[in-house]
Structure 1
Amino acid sequence: LTCLATLAIPQLGTELFPPVDGGQFTILLRGPLGTRIERMEGIVAKVETEVMDAIGKPDLAGDDPDSDLQLLISNIGVLYDWPAAYTPNTGPMDAFVLVQLKDDRKETAQQHAARLRPLLEKSFQDVEFAYDTGGMMTAALNFGMPSPIDIQVQGSKLEVLDEIAQAIRDEAGKIDGAVDARINQPLRYPALKINVDRIKAGQLGLTQEDVIKNVAAALNSSTNFAPSFWIAPNGNHYFMGVQYKETEIDSIETLRDVPITGGTDGTSILLRNVATIEEITTPPIISHLNITRTVDVYVNVEGRDVGSVAADLEERLENSESFQALMMDYGSKGYTWAIRGEVQSMQESFGQFGTGLLIAAILVYLVMVAQFRSFLMPFVILLTVPLGAVGVIAALLLTGTHMSIPAFMGLILMVGIVVEYSILLVEFAAKKIRDGTPVTEAVVEAAQARVRPVLMTSLTTVLALLPMAIGLGHGAEGNIPLARAIIGAVIGGAVLALLVVPALMSLLGPLLRPKTPEASS
């Protein structure tokens, strides 16, 4: 049984924490690079219409029973200031729509996201979509990342990083269960590069700083480099700065005609006289990990467990001839890739839980040695711990529950449950054997005397955990693996305590009988 259970472990699937219906999810949008915020606003408005057609109209009062939607909030673009640190958007082509569901919703956040995914992709073919359904718990365990799988590519040149990231994204899109594969840091965002002729500017009494400040004031505002405040009578303070009307800068030619001031005589010089403008592409955001430039490829999971999808992705990348040829060219130059995010946290957590399981078994054994004043009896009891894991694995396998942190907690609790049941039988049988009762008779009497307490304890525990194992109510999904693992441990521990422990006691029982001194001749 233990061998079969061990072979069945890979079939369980693994995840850091089970998906929980948090009552909300986020739709992340990315339009074509260079999309103006006005056009993105129109795209988001159409996306909102599609969402309301699928889920229902916003219903704050709860009067519409056919609608699962409570609130819809959209955020477009990014303010290039300190608020940029608190948004997933990297430019005006990015947006996110926060969908808040009602408490009495008929479908979970994961189900709504799965239903919206093909609808939005069909209606907006030039827009990249991703869905974050993790909720607060998953975000805390996943360090705030929007996807459970994060493939990080590291190196020096952004062009090479983007080439490797695109290859990984293409391979990820071919894996069953992998959805929303995307590159977080786009590379080719259209931009204008202003090349200042410093010699000519200097001859006209201007500096590089003068040119930059005047252009920044024309395109944005002077509050970025020369903040001023006006304090209103009510005590509120407001930024004051110089800026142009947005309609006045409508082409590169009008930008070339921006007057540059700052010289000693206050004369205005047109930008075209001291600088040239070049159209280029540039990354809107550059990320670093331990100082090294990093590009993230995010992948969501649907219909499968995170561990299996990550394993398939890693295997596919290792066996892909085109990707391996790419890494042969760049790997020797310091470019690397690694799967991190929730997958890395999951592997580290499972390793720690495995160590904790071993330590728990050792501590239980040492405590029983002190209590029984014997090394043999605790050893008989501890032999049932690997067999007790059979019940946990069987319960998870039969219910289709993946191995996760709650399930591992149930596996550790299994040690105490199995030991408790075994102690009831072993202690009774050992006392009978020491009193001179034949081993077989003592084992049978122990099993008959302890069968009722073991079954009653098991039955009450299973009935108490049954509602938690079913997962009644929204947000109860996080407790399901723990309850099912404990139920499996209780049932397996009870059955093994009544069947396996008596067999072990029959084999090792004679060693517990006190030795009699030899009769003298």
Structure 2
Amino acid sequence: ILVSILVLTVGLMKMTKFQLFPDFDVTQVYITGKVNINNDLEDTEKVVSKLEQDVLKHIDPKEVSSVTSVIGMRLDAKNHAEIGENLFHIFIDLHERAPDNFFNKYINPYLSLDYNASILSRARPAEAIEKDVKEWIAKTKASEKAFEEVVVSKPQTGVVAHDIEIALGGMEDKKLLEGLEKLQKALASIDGVSNIANDAEIGEKELKIKVNAYGEELGLDEQQLSNELRALYLKGEYGKIFNSSGLVRMRIESTQKDSIASIKNVEVHIPNSDQKIALSEVADFIFQQAFVTISKDDAERIRTVTASLNKKKNTSSEVMKKLEPTLDELKANGYKLTIKGEEQENAKTQKEMSQAGLAAIFLIFITLVWLFDSLKNSLIVLSTIPLVFLGVLVGHMIMGINLTMPSMIGVIGLAGVVVNDGLIMVSFIRNAKDVETLMRKAKTRLRPILMTSITTVLGLSTLIFFASGQAMILQPMAISLGFGIIWATVLNLLYVPLFYAVSHRIKKV
């Protein structure tokens, strides 16, 4: 029996997926992006207003409560603000989800003091609304050339900003871009991967004007060139007048500002003289294009690829396994890889949970030895802890939920519950000298153990079967405890007395 339970447990563990936190519905959808960098706030607002009108035209008032736009700023997945006159962020606020199960429809209204049915009008999850918004926006983006980037997303649940986050380093910028492209293609070929992006944003082409040797001999420097060119090529305010409509600002801008040829023919003053000279004779013109931002890790430049996952299709661990050939190829080519995101947190969480579990088992074992003054009896009770994990796995499979960090917290709590029932059972049967006496004493614990288990499972049932909204983050913990207690009850009523009789060689009279 012991071997079969362990084999079944190991088999189910290989079949069960793990993710850091369970997915739950959110109440916002984001539209973020940028227009051409040459647009100011007013220009950006005019372009973004087309997106706003498109969203307002399609939204269902029963699903969306408000639409708010911010021009000049956008938030990334980590809620860090990026400032720029060509950036925008549209917040689509959703109504709370309508009741979708018996408990929330008919029981919760009478139990909750602040229940308000009028705001619970949204029938669809945020994921479905996000998909619709992407379709609407795609048409607007295609018709408006000013948009350089438009991303539709929903807030990421859990402690990580991205499900997949892989940083590349150890190469020059051109090679890093090639590595990013290869990695993004590999991610795009995997089912369930979406919102693939990187932080290697290329800036606008820049013209750098550097004083040459001849210009330096004449006494010119970059500051003087800057002062003379600023008046010609930057929009400047040169006066104010009043008319019937109010204050009017007079702004002047060169009609040749976009012509590269015109700047070469500009004449600048030679210091300490009344003469002028062509800019092309005293300066070198250098065109360059660089990244908008520079990211470093341990003093080394890195570029990062990020992506979101549909956990029902693929978890972060499964995606990383499918990426192994691509990652191995990049390593062989000299790239330095840093795995971040959920996979990094998964490894950290599993390590910490394993350490916490081992510490808990050790402390429980010391306590049992002290109580029983018997190593054999202590091991009998302690042996139920790994066996009870079968109930946890079966419970998650029945509910169709992946194992998560809250699940593992529930397992650690479950260890204390199963040991408590086992301790009481062994305390009652340890003086039995024959099978008949052992059975009689074990039966006396039937009702107390059943009553304790039934009341505990009933108390957890609403969270197991009727969790909704953000309460779903606790559902895996309740599943671990509830289904684990059911299986622990079977173990304590059957396995513990049987194992005790075998280990102590108790026979019939």
1:163-182 aligned at under 5 Å gives the runs 163-182=178-197
> When you count strand as a share of all residues, which structure comes out higher?
2
Query: Deviation string for 1:6-56 (max 9, x for gaps)?
Result: 22223332222222334223333356x767567765553333334334433
Q: Following TM superposition, by how much is the alpha carbon of 1:509 offset from its aligned partner in structure 2, in angstroms? A: 3.2
Kept in 1, the 8 Å contact 2:317–2:343? The answer is no
Kept in 2, the 8 Å contact 1:372–1:378? The answer is yes
Q: Which residue of 1 aligns with 2:204?
A: 190
1:368-379 aligned at under 5 Å gives the runs 368-379=368-379
Structure 2 distance, partners of 1:261, 1:443, is: 109
Structure 2 distance, partners of 1:24, 1:259, is: 56
Kept in 1, the 8 Å contact 2:211–2:221? The answer is no
Single out whichever of 399-408 and 40-49 deviates more from structure 2.
40-49
Q: Following TM superposition, by how much is the alpha carbon of 1:203 offset from its aligned partner in structure 2, in angstroms? A: 3.9
Kept in 2, the 8 Å contact 1:217–1:244? The answer is no
Structure 2 distance, partners of 1:72, 1:496, is: 56
Kept in 2, the 8 Å contact 1:129–1:180? The answer is no
Q: Which residue of 2 aligns with 1:150?
A: 165
SS in 2 for 1:124: helix
Unaligned runs of 5+ residues in structure 2 are 97-118, 237-249
Kept in 1, the 8 Å contact 2:39–2:86? The answer is yes
Structure 2 distance, partners of 1:486, 1:93, is: 51
CA change 1:468–1:368 in 2 (3 A) is same
Q: Which residue of 2 aligns with 1:446?
A: 441
Select which of 189, 196, 220 maps to 1:206: 220
Q: Which residue of 1 aligns with 2:504?
A: 509
Query: Deviation string for 1:176-231 (max 9, x for gaps)?
Result: 111111222224x3312223124344344332244356667877799xxxxxxxxx
Q: Which residue of 1 aligns with 2:51?
A: 47
Select which of 5, 26, 30 maps to 2:30: 26
Structure 1 distance, partners of 2:358, 2:450, is: 27
SS in 2 for 1:150: strand
Query: Deviation string for 1:408-453 (max 9, x for gaps)?
Result: 100111111111121221111113x2xxx41x12331233111111
Structure 1 distance, partners of 2:63, 2:463, is: 28
Single out whichever of 373-382 and 310-319 deviates more from structure 2.
310-319
Select which of 253, 272, 283 maps to 2:291: 283
Kept in 2, the 8 Å contact 1:192–1:277? The answer is no
Aligned residues: 457
1:184-333 aligned at under 5 Å gives the runs 184-187=199-202, 189-212=203-226, 250-253=257-260, 274-304=282-312, 308-319=314-325, 328=332, 330-331=333-334
The answer on 1:351 being equivalent to 2:351 is yes
| TM-score calculated relative to the size of structure 2 | 0.78
Q: Following TM superposition, by how much is the alpha carbon of 1:495 offset from its aligned partner in structure 2, in angstroms? A: 1.6
Q: Which residue of 1 aligns with 2:154?
A: 133
Select which of 476, 479, 483 maps to 1:481: 476
Structure 1 distance, partners of 2:466, 2:423, is: 32
Q: Following TM superposition, by how much is the alpha carbon of 1:363 offset from its aligned partner in structure 2, in angstroms? A: 0.8
Structure 1 distance, partners of 2:270, 2:23, is: 59
Single out whichever of 279-288 and 174-183 deviates more from structure 2.
279-288
Percent identity reads 21
The answer on 1:102 being equivalent to 2:103 is no
Q: Which residue of 1 aligns with 2:245?
A: none
Q: Tell me the amino acid that sits aligned with residue 71 of structure 1.
A: V
Q: Which residue of 2 aligns with 1:469?
A: 464
Kept in 2, the 8 Å contact 1:77–1:94? The answer is yes
Q: Following TM superposition, by how much is the alpha carbon of 1:281 offset from its aligned partner in structure 2, in angstroms? A: 2.9
Q: Which residue of 2 aligns with 1:519?
A: none
Single out whichever of 21-30 and 210-219 deviates more from structure 2.
210-219
CA change 1:3–1:258 in 2 (3 A) is farther
Q: Which residue of 2 aligns with 1:393?
A: 393
Single out whichever of 39-48 and 480-489 deviates more from structure 2.
39-48
Q: Following TM superposition, by how much is the alpha carbon of 1:132 offset from its aligned partner in structure 2, in angstroms? A: 4.4
| TM-score calculated relative to the size of structure 1 | 0.77
The answer on 1:70 being equivalent to 2:66 is yes
Kept in 2, the 8 Å contact 1:401–1:481? The answer is yes
CA change 1:355–1:279 in 2 (3 A) is same
